[in-house]
């Protein structure tokens, strides 16, 4: 049974992917510094080794890779708040680029052959075509997106020079929760729309603010491509298997190829939860494109990826079910 290292596995997407890896028969070691993740994740995921440490700690990573016989690294660990990255780019370059490169260096030295990277739609910047294909121009307009692109480029050059094979997955908007109810989404602060809507439905947030109602979209609010976190997680397992089967290094988008506006998300959540969900209308946020929708044709054709939980109602229902059981997020888990 292969053992893999998952950085950031105490976070939202990382923890869901650990679950999918377990289901597929992999053994998993998680490396997380808990700067944004949750210790409680270690309690709900049995059979996983959790190591609390930083990707920047090259010595620790080298020891882990060698002593555990790690065959692949899935790298989720990153800071990912756009506003925070604009206010403090140094923090983002240090953590996402320098910290990532320390990891990559240890991976190279240990001769680990496969690497999967959590990239982002933020590498594209303002889209010039919808849906966005992988060969769309790359022009991130915030430091967060720039750090993701910088790491993708490092991966490409390392791969060419040292023979390591990689897949970079450019996620659109991850949302929803484990359909079995083990894990969910709990960022602090919560800037993502779906969990913010859940908090408002529970009365734990006064209202959801809609940033901009005058976009050139049918209802004036921004359109995004929401993808269920378990579908995202499954794509990582496919990518890992493809690399092991000799598939070349590749970049893939991951979205549902369908857009939903902010108002649609709120309306769907009202229907699913049966709750009020108060809304405030605010001005646009700088740097928010009107529409971001992925083409996921490449990963469907090349790896056979098929979303199982693609419709918005299922995404919101799973998020709601987890939140109902965990009204204060992981703080209210029984651990």
Ligand X SMILES: NC(=O)c1ccc[n+]([C@@H]2O[C@H](COP(=O)([O-])OP(=O)(O)OC[C@H]3O[C@@H](n4cnc5c(N)ncnc54)[C@H](O)[C@@H]3O)[C@@H](O)[C@H]2O)c1
Q: Quick check: 54 binds ligand X (CB under 6 A)?
A: yes
Is residue 169 a contact partner of residue 14, using CB atoms and an 8 Å limit? no
Contact stretch for ligand X (CB under 6 A) within 31-39, 43-51, 197-205, 301-309: 31-39
Q: How far is the CB of 185 from ligand X (least distance, A)?
A: 7
Contact stretch for ligand X (CB under 6 A) within 4-12, 21-29, 66-74, 261-269: 4-12
Q: Quick check: 74 binds ligand X (CB under 6 A)?
A: no
Number of H helices, E strands in the chain: 12, 13
Candidate residues 5, 6, 14, 132; the one interacting with ligand X per rule CB under 6 A: 14
Size of the site for ligand X (CB under 6 A): 30
- Residue numbers 107-126 binding ligand X by CB under 6 A: 118, 120
Catalytic residues: 144
Nearer CB in complex with ligand X: 26/92: 92
Name the β-bridge partners of 118. 169
Residue 238 to residues 11, 117, 179, 242, 310, Cα–Cα distance (Å):
20, 13, 19, 6, 17
Strands (E), the chain: 3-7, 27-32, 49-52, 72-75, 114-120, 165-171, 173-175, 208-211, 223-224, 226-228, 250-254, 260-261, 279-282
Q: Quick check: 29 binds ligand X (CB under 6 A)?
A: no
Q: Quick check: 143 binds ligand X (CB under 6 A)?
A: no
Nearer CB in complex with ligand X: 10/155: 10
Nearer CB in complex with ligand X: 4/31: 31
Nearer CB in complex with ligand X: 91/220: 91
In degrees to the nearest 10, what's the CA dihedral of 186, 258, 122, 30? 40
Q: How far is the CB of 274 from ligand X (least distance, A)?
A: 26
Q: Quick check: 37 binds ligand X (CB under 6 A)?
A: yes
Contact stretch for ligand X (CB under 6 A) within 54-62, 157-165, 268-276, 285-293: 54-62
Sequence-ordered list of residues with C-beta below 8 angstroms from that of 229, at least 6 positions apart, any chain = 12, 13, 16, 174, 175, 176, 177, 178, 185
- Residue numbers 85-104 binding ligand X by CB under 6 A: 95, 99
Count how many Cα atoms sit within 13 Å of the Cα of residue 200 in the half-sphere of its side chain.
Answer: 23
Candidate residues 55, 261, 268, 296; the one interacting with ligand X per rule CB under 6 A: 55
Residue at shortest CB range from ligand X: 11
Q: Omega before 189 cis (within 30°)?
A: yes
Is residue 31 a contact partner of residue 53, using CB atoms and an 8 Å limit? yes
Nearer CB in complex with ligand X: 56/279: 56
DSSP 3-state assignment of 210? strand
Candidate residues 4, 12, 18, 116; the one interacting with ligand X per rule CB under 6 A: 12
Q: How far is the CB of 308 from ligand X (least distance, A)?
A: 18
Nearer CB in complex with ligand X: 31/242: 31
For binding to ligand X (CB under 6 A), which residues are involved? 7-8, 10-14, 31-37, 54-56, 76-80, 95, 99, 118, 120, 171, 173-174, 187
């Amino acid at each position: 049974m292969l053992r893999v290292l998952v950085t950031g596995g105490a976070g939202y997407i990382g923890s869901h992917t650990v679950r999918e890896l377990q289901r597929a028969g992999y053994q998993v070691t998680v490396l997380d510094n808990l700067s944004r993740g949750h210790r409680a994740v270690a309690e709900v995921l049995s059979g996983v080794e959790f190591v609390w440490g930083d990707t920047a700690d090259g010595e620790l990573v080298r020891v882990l890779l060698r002593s555990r016989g790690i065959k692949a690294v899935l790298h989720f660990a990153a800071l990912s708040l756009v506003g925070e990255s604009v206010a403090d780019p140094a923090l983002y370059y240090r953590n996402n680029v320098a910290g990532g490169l320390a990891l990559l260096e240890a991976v190279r030295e240990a001769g680990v052959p496969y690497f999967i990277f959590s990239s982002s739609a933020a590498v594209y910047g303002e889209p010039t075509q919808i849906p966005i294909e992988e060969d769309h121009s790359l022009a991130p307009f915030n430091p967060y997106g720039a750090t993701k692109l910088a790491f993708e480029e490092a991966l490409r050059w390392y791969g060419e020079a040292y023979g390591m094979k990689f897949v970079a997955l450019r996620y659109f908007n991850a949302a929803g929760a484990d359909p079995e109810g083990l894990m969910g989404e709990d960022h602090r602060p919560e800037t993502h729309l779906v969990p913010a809507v859940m908090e408002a439905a529970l009365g734990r947030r006064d209202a959801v603010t809609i940033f901009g109602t005058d976009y050139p979209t049918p209802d004036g609010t921004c359109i995004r491509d929401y993808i269920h976190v378990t579908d995202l997680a499954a794509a990582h397992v496919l990518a890992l298997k493809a690399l092991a089967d000799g598939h070349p290094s590749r970049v893939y988008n991951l979205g549902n190829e369908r857009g939903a506006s902010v108002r649609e998300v709120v309306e769907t959540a009202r229907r699913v939860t049966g709750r009020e969900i108060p809304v405030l209308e605010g001005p646009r946020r700088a740097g928010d494109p009107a529409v971001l929708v992925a083409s996921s044709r490449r990963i469907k054709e090349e790896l056979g990826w098929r979303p199982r939980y693609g419709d918005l109602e299922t995404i919101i229902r799973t998020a709601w079910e987890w939140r109902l059981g965990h009204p204060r997020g992981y703080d209210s888990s029984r651990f």
